[in-house]
């Protein structure tokens, strides 16, 4: 395919200027490759984390981005923060965006 494109680009029997589309083709290809290698996987990862946070329920064991391990005890009224039990008589309010990992209910880390 690349050989065909290069053949078209190099064959100019009438002596006209190069096709502008062919001259921009490398830049277009670089943008397409960057999309599939960098942007698309990052967006997919972000959607997966959003689904994980939305599926959070009472009793789940979590690990925050800061490394705090705890168990979800409830949610605040605005549903933006989670009440996490860290130890006996120790509860923390943590933003949902700070949750890094949701562990299965039976598993503790």
Give per-residue pLDDT as tens, 7-26.
665 555 554 566 777 888 88
Structural domain harbouring 31: 2-9+19-52
Distance separating alpha carbons of residues 44 and 40, to the nearest angstrom = 6
Give the residue carrying structure tokens 């670089």. 30
| 46 belongs to a structural domain | yes
Q: What is the pLDDT of residues 43-72, one digit of tens each?
A: 999 999 999 999 999 999 999 999 999 999
Q: CA-CA-CA-CA torsion for 47, 52, 53, 54, nearest 10 degrees?
A: 90
pLDDT in the model for residue 75: 93
pTM across the whole model:
0.64
pLDDT at residue 88 tops 80 = yes
| Domain shared by 25 and 47, yes or no | yes
Q: What SS3 class is residue 71?
A: strand
Same domain, 38 and 68: no
For the chain, what is the mean pLDDT? Answer: 85
As for how many domains the chain has, the answer is: 2
Is residue 109 situated within a structural domain? no
Q: What is the pLDDT of residue 73?
A: 93
Name the pairing type of β-strands 99-103 and 81-87: unpaired
Q: Is 92 part of any domain?
A: yes
Q: Is 68 helix (H, G, I), strand (E, B) or coil?
A: coil
Whether residues 64 and 96 share a domain: the answer is yes
65 found inside a domain: yes
Q: Are residues 34 and 68 in the same domain?
A: no
- In a shared domain, residues 48 and 64: no
| CATH code, domain carrying 85 | 2.30.30.140
């Amino acid at each position: 395919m690349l050989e065909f494109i290069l053949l078209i680009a190099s064959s100019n029997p009438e002596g006209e200027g190069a096709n502008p589309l062919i001259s921009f083709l490398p830049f277009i290809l670089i943008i397409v490759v960057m999309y599939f290698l960098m942007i698309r996987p990052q967006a997919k990862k972000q959607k997966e984390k959003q689904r994980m946070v939305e599926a959070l329920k009472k009793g789940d064991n979590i690990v925050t981005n800061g490394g705090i391990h705890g168990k979800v005890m409830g949610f605040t009224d605005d549903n933006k923060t989670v009440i996490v039990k860290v130890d006996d008589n120790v509860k923390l309010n943590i933003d949902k965006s700070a949750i890094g990992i949701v562990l299965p209910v039976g598993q503790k880390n």
